[in-house]
Structure 1
Amino acid sequence: MGLSNEEVVLRCVGLGVLSHVCYFVHGEHTLRAPLYVKTVVLGPPAFSVLLTRLSFLTFWQAVQVTALGCLAYLGGIFVSMLVYRTCLHPLRRFPGPWLAQYTQFYHFFKVKDKIDNYRHLARLHAEYGDYVRVGPNLLSVADPDMIGVMFDRDTKFEKADWYDIGYPWTSLTQIRDKSLHDDRRRHGWDAAFTAKALRNYDARIVKYADQLVAQMCRRSGEVVDAARWFEWYSFDIMGDLAFGRAFNAVQMGQSHIYIDTMHETSPFPLGCLATMPWVIHTMGSIIPDRLNPFMRLVRYSAECIEQQKEKAQIAQKGKTEPAEPDIMTQILNKGPFFVDDPKRDDLLLVGDARLLIVAGSDTTAAAITCAFYQLAKDESHVLKLRAELDAEGIRNDGNLTVQKLHKLKFLDGFIRETLRLYPPVPGGTFRNTPKEGVVINGQALPGGVKVIAPQYLIHRSSKAFEDPDEFVPERWTTLKDRLVKKDAWFPFSTGKFACIGKQLALDEIRAVVAKMVLEFDIVFAEGETGRALLEESQDIFTMVMAKLNLCFIKRGINTG
């Protein structure tokens, strides 16, 4: 005897509830999401055909029963999910928008138009306080005391599933296993960023800073989009230092297809869907490679790796060292990381190649752009920087070195303050709380939930910095009483997973700021206020900066 429609519905609803309670509530599902989607799409037609062959039902009757059962099953899952997220979820007691507790798509619809994730979080924290439930299983914490607990070297917090976005092209930063991450860092990465290695990069940093100065000399007094030029400068440096393969964007005065492709393809997935890594991973899995613009970045990264392998082989045969060492060569010289799995090793290298270029460029470019916004806004900073450079006898000539800039305290404070007010990763990174949970300032954070600590908000917290919205470089030098909680400054993250390229990024910023203030007066172009930069720049995990129209006027030239 067959089942009635009512019996089919009841059984499938019960099965849906059981699936949610016993399976979907537990663990992570990002990497399995493509399989779920394919099952939902392809499963019902296949089941209809099977049901036709194994029963006395006609095909259309089988389709009807299958559709009814599938809808009931999915309905059971969603009803169970809504009840759980409302009444039983560990984050249920934290305040936040009521829709956010039910679906992460609430976040998507709030940020999709302006790609302004960190500003959206700022609005929520202004309304709900330091601890806000911004998704069904996502808590945003703007408490400065969170930093030590979350990023301490001995922390029990773990990287969340956001780091699986790039799978299978996993990079160093996306390795979630702590011991494996440490092993990978020791496999060439640490050697490529020692103090000695950094000194080998200094001359090339200065070379690209000189190229930028030369280009601005040709455009003295003209309106230029400074954000684009600083972007090209940082990408040129990382292309050269990573692979000995510069993009030549500054020299040519135009962008490179890799830079354009990255910024054209990243805003929607990384800017809108970053809180739903399963969607990004699913999209990447089901879109054919020939239609997926992300694959252009993968192919370029793979080309860079192959070129470096060939160079390394030639050097080994000739028993010579490269004239200008690069980062990837030092990693390759260590040999395969996954010795028994060449395919996985190749995927890791491609992921690392993309990491070197993107993470080492976008972040630095954003910081430099914001630094020059402040220089154009307040000439006193320019004058103080020049006075400090003059006091040390530093001129924009062949004797200017990155090493000489390390001793400049105001320059260091100026850069630190820029990174405080305008952190290059403003929305923060995703972590899972330890199973036993954690208590911060009396707030009990449950175990096994996802949290973020937005850099933008913590850097502007009055609990950490006096007059937090004011740009005061001296708070790092002569006005240290304005540092309430110095440890709350973490633009490069901190602890075990701190950015390995921190010192390199600081050197790039030091060089271009020093050379430009020595060479030019820096002013806003007519009509420029910085509004677009502050309100229209896009948060795609790193920042893609909006236009900043400046005039770089050669010093000593009378423009009147």
Structure 2
Amino acid sequence: MLTTLFLSLLACGALYYIGSAIYSITLHPLASIPGPLVCKITRIPYWYVSISGVDVPWMKTLHDKYGPVVRFGPTDLSYASAEGWQDVHGPKVQEKALEFFPRPVNDTPPMLTQTHEVHTRVRRVFSPAFSTRSLKAQEPLFLKYAGHLTSKVSEVGRDGKEPIDIGALLNFTTFDVMAELTFGHNLGMLAKSKNDPWVESIVGWLKMLPLVAMINYYPILRVTVFDKLQPKWVSKQREKHCAFAEELVNKRLEKGSTKPDVWKFVLDDKGQGLALPEMHSNAEAFMLAGSETTATLLSGAIFYLLKSPQTLNTLVEEIRSSFKSQEDLTLENLGSLKYMTACIKEALRVYPPVPIGSPRNVQKGGQMILGKWVPEETRVSVHHWSTYHSEANFTEPDSFIPERWLGTDPKFANDNFAAHQPFGYGYRNCIGQNMAMHEMRLLLASILLKYDLDLCEESKNWADQKSFALWIKPKLMVRAVPRVSEKN
């Protein structure tokens, strides 16, 4: 009796799955959108490559085969075009697919993952802290850390006698900068040439993001497996991480400060109703978004410059002919360097710090995207890497050629520059992009003003990396020899 019942239930389950599979590839509203047959039935292929850290080249392969729109899951679409940015991230409000983000420990999401209404309110509060006025006020702080970085390069590299991991020094610098802007004091990482345990926990958590996304995607897994079997050290680490951020924010608020950090500009405007838990969660988000990505881009820029000697020489000539000392590297002066800006833009294209897409849920009623009606509850995203490395968008897309951004070479006249949106597009674009651009210009110029760099043999294939939402970077070993004028 029980055996018969079990077999009947098994047969019903099999029939349901087979029926769902047939519907998904024949009658489903997304059935006509190209993609691998198995991906139209199940998300398992995506989960496999995502958890393996190879989803970026996998998605690029799909776009190369199927075109600017790919169905990579039963209800998942990826785009690789300028029109995709306009339709997915444009005027029509689409909420973020929250299963791709871990649940906040304090149950208060940062504005990054908030609903449109809350995001708009919180962003309005923080906007003064990232304005041109605040950036100008923060300029001495950035110059201070640029000086610390160049001194540390000499100290660690013994004036070019020893190779250094320039990527690590950049990470220490950007985290210290963001900590001072967010908490009122740095973490001492650059001074100690060592990661703070709190920062290590942030980076370590990145590798778990694909697994977290899969568990959140299937609520039954979270209820029946993860919540019950999750190792205690994981939850304790997250709780400790959140508590540390809260403590630093609370101390900064209690002590007060006249320094032009984030809270100075927010509190000067009375906080506009920003709740304390919102301060905590957003401070934690700023630390990662404003540091890891900046250091990643700078590491990529240095790597590609060292692999392109002629390009490096052109940039070095621009910097050294424009500036005599680090004190000359002001916001206005750096912004006038056309070739420097072109190099950073090209690095953001060839090696975007966030290579994946940021998925949105199509809202009730559906939406037209690239001329095709997409039903509600479909997850849609524009894939940075695939878009920037597409021959349909850029000439010689896999080559590092800053000249394409100067508008002087007809070879690149047909490049679709609107497809390049490394800071996002629309109302949810990066609030700190102007700050990031200045910091990238300043740190890169500071290094190249003082040092001649040479890539070590062990880092020749540095760009061969896995990705778990962000790149997992190996050491970037270089020799940094003080230029002749710096020795005298």
> Pick from 74, 82, 97: which aligns with 1:136?
74
Match of 1:516 in 2: 447
Structure 1 residue 174: Cα displacement: 0.5
Alpha-carbon offset, residue 140 of structure 1: 1.4
Q: In structure 1, how many angstroms separate the alpha carbons of the residues matched to 2:258 and 2:382? A: 42
Partner in structure 2 of residue 540 of structure 1: 468
Question: Which position in structure 1 is the counterpart of 2:240?
Answer: 299
Per-residue deviation at 1:133? 1.5
Deviation at 1:364, TM superposition (A): 0.7
| Cα distance in 2 for residues equivalent to 1:311 and 1:88 | 57
Contact 1:430 1:450 in 2 (8 A): yes
| 8 Å contact from structure 2 (residues 316, 448) kept in 1 | yes
Match of 1:148 among 72, 80, 86: 86
- Deviations 1:453-493, CA, capped at 9 Å, x for gaps: 11111112233323322222122224365253221110000
Partner of 2:478: 550
Cα deviation, residue 418, structure 1: 0.7
The equivalent of 1:309 in structure 2 is 250
Match of 1:155, SS? coil
Contact residue 458 and residue 464 of structure 1 kept, 8 A: yes
Contact 1:289 1:295 in 2 (8 A): no
Please point out which of 235, 255, 271 is paired with 2:195: 255
- 1:146 shift after superposition: 1.0
- Report the AA paired with residue 299 of structure 2: T
Are 2:53 and 1:91 equivalent residues in the alignment?
no
Q: CA deviation at 1:235?
A: 1.1
Deviates more, 1:202-211 or 1:294-303: 294-303
The whole-number CA distance in structure 2 between the counterparts of 1:80 and 1:197 is 58
Query: What is the DSSP-based 3-state SS (H/G/I as helix, E as strand, rest coil) of the residue aligned with 2:377?
Result: coil
State whether residues 144 and 461 of structure 1, in contact with CA within 8 Å, keep that contact through their aligned partners in structure 2. Answer: no
The reply on whether 1:528 has 2:459 as its aligned counterpart is: yes
Match of residue 116 from structure 1: 54
How far did residue 374 of structure 1 move? 1.7
If asked which structure has higher relative contact order (CA below 8 Å, sep 6+), I would say 2
How does 1:68-467 map onto structure 2 within 5 Å? 78=17, 81-113=20-52, 115-152=53-90, 154-162=91-99, 165-167=102-104, 168-175=107-114, 177-187=115-125, 189-218=126-155, 219=157, 220-221=159-160, 222-267=162-207, 269-271=208-210, 274=213, 277-278=216-217, 282=222, 286=227, 291-293=232-234, 295-315=236-256, 322-328=257-263, 330-331=265-266, 345-392=275-322, 394-467=323-396
- Cα pair 2:50 2:468 within 8 Å, conserved: no
The change in CA–CA distance for 1:4 and 1:234 in structure 2 (over 3 A counts) is closer
The answer on whether the counterparts of 1:265 and 1:294 sit within 8 Å (CA) in structure 2 is: no
Q: Shift of the alpha carbon at 1:442?
A: 4.4
| Residue type at the aligned position of 1:549 | M
CA-CA distance at 1:288 after TM superposition: 8.2
Q: Conserved in 2, the CA contact under 8 Å of 1:226 and 1:548?
A: yes
Q: Which amino acid aligns with 1:244?
A: G
C-alpha spacing 1:542/1:336, structure 2 compared with 1 (3 Å): same
- 2:433 aligns with 502
Counterpart of 2:66 in structure 1: which amino acid? Y
Q: 1:230 to 1:102 in 2, by over 3 A?
A: same
Equivalent residue number for residue 473 of structure 1: 402
Question: Residues 113-138 of structure 1, C-alpha deviation per residue, up to 9 Å, x if partnerless?
Answer: 3x122111112222333222211211
Checking the alignment, whether the CA contact within 8 Å between 1:147 and 1:488 is kept in structure 2 is: yes
The Cα of 1:544 is off from its aligned counterpart by: 2.7
Secondary structure in 2 aligned to 1:126? Answer: helix
Q: Secondary structure at the match of 1:351?
A: helix
Given that 2:170 and 2:295 are in contact with CA atoms closer than 8 Å, whether structure 1 keeps it comes out as yes
Contact 1:226–1:549, Cα closer than 8 Å, also in 2: yes
**Does structure 1 retain, via aligned residues, the 8 Å contact 2:81–2:393?**
no
- 1:428: Cα distance to partner? 1.3
Aligned residues: 478
Secondary structure (helix, strand or coil) at the match of 1:539 reads strand
Cα gap change, 1:105 to 1:399, in 2 (>3 Å) = same
TM normalised by structure 1 equals 0.77
Displacement after TM superposition at 1:9 (Å):
7.3
Local SS of the residue matching 1:462? coil
- Structure 1 gaps of 5+ residues are 14-70, 316-321, 340-344
Unpaired runs of 5+ in structure 2? Answer: none
Matched AA of 2:311: H
